[in-house]
Amino acid sequence: MTDDTTGTKKSIRADALRNEDALLEAAKEIFATSGVDAPVREIAARAGVGVGTLYRRFPKRSDLVVGVYKREVDACVSAATEFAQQYGPGDALSHWLKRYCQFILTKKGLAAALYSGDPAFDALPGYFRSNFEPTLQSLLKSAAKAGEIRGDIDAYDLLRAIGNLASTGGSEGAEHTHRMLELMIDGLRFGAKGR
């Protein structure tokens, strides 16, 4: 029961949420440079918490990987709303596609874990699709309605195309991927009603 005068339970909950957020942020950064097999002590140290705190929240490494992945998917989805409020439909789409591409580029270490056969990761591809497809479909629909892109683009096809592009960046890596994404975005505009 919560003490309404002191709010003790609420402050403990807030601390737990801050610790979880710090752990997920630290894990994201370390996974990006060292891979998902990085030592948990390093993640806990970067988050400023003890290893026991990490294990209480994420008992298995796969729990931490899933937590990082879902948090990043959620952040990328939220960016679509922000872009739609800041920019016109075509620009919002372009900004979000770049944000999504960056998401893919920084999750290469997670890809190996996702396809490792560990059943802990079985639900992640569905989570990916159920969040990214409707988000992108909404952006595509708005941009097509505004006459800024063609109207025959399937969200899942575009998500896959960018994923494939990001995984084959070649020796130039991210720079090449970003240049090719710009060409892809130009291709979306080809044949648009308003152009």
CA distance 46 to 67: 17
118: region left, alpha or beta (phi > 0 left; psi from -120 to 50 alpha): beta
Mean pLDDT of 85-93: 97
The more confidently predicted of residues 182 and 32 is 182
Band (36; pLDDT cuts 50, 70, 90): confident
The more confidently predicted of residues 4 and 175 is 175
CA distance 162 to 104: 8
How does pLDDT run across 126-182, given as a tens digit for each residue?
999 999 999 999 999 999 999 999 999 999 999 999 988 887 755 577 888 889 999
CA distance 17 to 177: 35
To 10 degrees, the CA torsion angle through 75, 77, 78, 80?
A: 130
Q: Is the pLDDT of residue 77 over 80?
A: yes
How does pLDDT run across 100-127, given as a tens digit for each residue?
998 888 776 677 777 778 888 888 889 9
CA distance 10 to 119: 34
Band (26; pLDDT cuts 50, 70, 90): very high
Mean pLDDT of 82-103: 96
Contacts of 120 (CB under 8 A, 6+ apart): 60, 62, 63, 65, 66
The more confidently predicted of residues 52 and 3 is 52
Kindly report the average pLDDT of the chain as a whole number.
Answer: 87
5-9, 96-100, 152-156: least confident range: 5-9
pLDDT at residue number 32: 82
Going from the N-terminus, what domains does the chain have, and what CATH number goes with each? 1-59 (1.10.10.60), 61-195 (1.10.357.10)
